[in-house]
């Protein structure tokens, strides 16, 4: 019987994908996660509908039988964060590069029909023009960016050399429910929301005029499902972004307005490895994959704020 396998399925984005796959019914959903950054409670309520394997993607012998025969393998397992990869490059290299290699190897051996890989917009680095188009030369500025780019290169090489049908989606600053705000390496929107709810000032690194294409998690999940079905995309790379761009100052202003409060931000030194501006050109993803982002930043922030308030209230 057809199965879908999600590596990193207990993580923030992975669990949103698993929830959607499980809700759609159809093929069984199998999760691979070592729970390093993922959490079992992200999958709460799905216990009867998914098969969970607490294993590490670096362990080929453990993952190979789980991956074998899958219809679609969504590869999201990674150690994220630009600053974490600068401070601790070894674990992120081992998981993001070596682990990814083992996942693709298992997919070839196990004759998986399609692989959808979670690549990163960080691969672009600082480009001279915006928005960022897939044809631009990558210029990674951090170990994380280089590692995620290597995953794309391996996807393409495994396609050419071994016939693996793997497509890479460059995620652009994904945010939404279940993004964990508790670590200094957490995504900025989750940190801002926690500050807002607790009526504290966030610290903005630099002048706050750096900008990001913040993409709501459900739009990325929708695109992954489309990428799983699209024809002729093996070995290719697509931007998975919203197509807009907001500065951190604008995001913090919007959040204060939504909440009806005034809490000035604090400003600290710029963060090493930071990209200045990021915005996706979504033309290719719309054309080839049927990408159609639905959530404006304000709508996504409202939804995420509602979830985070409930979550913090419950703790
Ligand atoms: C990068 C990638 C993104 C990837 C993510 C994985 C780019 C453009 N984006 O996100 O695709 O998914 O890594 O981790 O490279 N900031 C503050 N205060 C805070 C926290 C962050 O000002 O408390 C700032 C950062 O300095 C940065 C921005 O917010 O300028 C976004 O940071 P973050 O959410 O960590 O994501 P990126 O590093 O942009």
**pLDDT at position 262:** 98
| Domain extent for 194 | 175-211+244-278+295-311
d(CA 22, CA 4) in angstroms, rounded, equals 10
Token digits of residue 178: 């279940």
pLDDT mean across residues, the chain: 97
**pLDDT at position 115:** 98
Does residue 190 sit in the same domain as residue 164? no
**pLDDT at position 315:** 46
Does residue 74 sit in the same domain as residue 23? yes
Number of Cβ within 10 Å of residue 207's Cβ equals 11
Does residue 136 sit in the same domain as residue 271? no
Confidence of residue 271 (pLDDT cuts 50, 70, 90): very high
Does residue 100 sit in the same domain as residue 136? yes
Does residue 123 sit in the same domain as residue 252? no
Confidence of residue 312 (pLDDT cuts 50, 70, 90): confident
- Name the one residue in this structure whose structure tokens are 């080929």: 60
* Main-chain dihedrals φ then ψ at residue 187, nearest 5 degrees: -60, 145
Does residue 28 sit in the same domain as residue 90? yes
What is the mean predicted confidence (pLDDT) over 272-286? 97
- Name the one residue in this structure whose structure tokens are 């652009």: 172
Does residue 109 sit in the same domain as residue 82? yes
Distance between Cα 215 and ligand 1 center (Å): 12
d(CA 46, CA 170) in angstroms, rounded, equals 28
Q: Which of 50, 6, 56, 4 is nearest to 35 (CA)?
A: 56
Does residue 103 sit in the same domain as residue 114? yes
Does residue 60 sit in the same domain as residue 140? yes
**pLDDT at position 14:** 98
Number of Cβ within 10 Å of residue 76's Cβ equals 26
Measuring from each residue's beta carbon to the nearest atom of ligand 1, which residues come in under 6 Å? 80-82, 120-122, 171-173, 187-188, 191, 202-205, 210, 212, 248, 271, 274-275, 278
**For the chain, how many structural domains are there in total?**
2
Q: Reply yes or no on whether the pLDDT at 119 is more than 90.
A: yes
Does residue 117 sit in the same domain as residue 24? yes
Confidence of residue 25 (pLDDT cuts 50, 70, 90): confident
CATH code (residue 12) = 3.40.50.720
Does residue 73 sit in the same domain as residue 52? yes
Does residue 109 sit in the same domain as residue 192? no
pTM: 0.98
**pLDDT at position 264:** 98
What is the mean predicted confidence (pLDDT) over 61-71? 98
CATH code (residue 258) = 3.90.25.10
Q: What does the pLDDT look like over 172-198, one tens digit per residue?
A: 999 999 999 999 899 999 999 999 999
Determine the residue of 85, 122, 136, 238 to mutate for testing ligand 1's pocket, defined as the one with the most ligand atoms within 8 A of the Cβ atom.
122
**pLDDT at position 313:** 76
Q: Reply yes or no on whether the pLDDT at 296 is more than 70.
A: yes
Q: Reply yes or no on whether the pLDDT at 67 is more than 50.
A: yes
Distance between Cα 195 and ligand 1 center (Å): 16
Determine the atom of ligand 1 nearest the C-alpha atom of 204.
22
């Amino acid at each position: 019987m057809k199965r879908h396998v999600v590596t990193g399925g207990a993580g923030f984005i992975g669990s949103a994908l698993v929830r959607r796959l499980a809700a759609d019914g159809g093929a069984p959903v199998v999760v691979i996660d070592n729970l390093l950054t993922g959490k079992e409670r992200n999958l709460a309520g799905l216990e009867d509908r998914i098969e969970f394997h607490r294993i590490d993607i670096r362990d080929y012998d453990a993952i190979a039988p789980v991956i074998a025969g899958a219809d679609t393998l969504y590869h999201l397992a990674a150690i994220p964060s630009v600053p974490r990869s600068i401070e601790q490059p070894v674990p992120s290299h081992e998981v993001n590069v070596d682990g990814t290699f083992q996942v693709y190897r298992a997919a070839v051996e196990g004759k998986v029909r399609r692989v959808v890989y979670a690549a990163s917009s960080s691969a672009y680095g600082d480009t001279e023009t915006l928005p960022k188009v897939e044809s631009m030369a990558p210029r990674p500025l951090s170990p994380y960016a280089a590692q995620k780019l290597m995953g794309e290169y391996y996807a393409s090489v495994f396609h050419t050399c071994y016939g693996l049908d793997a497509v890479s989606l460059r995620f652009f600053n994904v945010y939404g429910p279940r993004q964990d705000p508790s670590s200094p390496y957490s995504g900025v929107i989750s940190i801002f929301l926690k500050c807002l709810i607790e009526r504290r000032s966030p610290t903005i690194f630099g002048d706050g005029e750096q900008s990001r294409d913040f993409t709501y998690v459900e739009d990325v999940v929708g695109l992954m499902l489309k990428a799983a079905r699209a024809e002729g995309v093996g070995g290719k790379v697509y931007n998975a972004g919203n197509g807009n761009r907001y500065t951190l100052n604008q995001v913090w202003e919007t959040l204060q307005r939504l909440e009806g409060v005034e809490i000035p931000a604090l400003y600290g030194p710029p963060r090493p490895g930071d990209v200045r501006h990021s915005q996706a050109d979504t033309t290719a993803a719309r054309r080839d994959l049927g990408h159609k982002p639905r959530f404006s930043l304000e709508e996504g922030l409202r939804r995420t704020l509602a979830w985070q308030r409930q979550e913090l209230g419950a703790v």
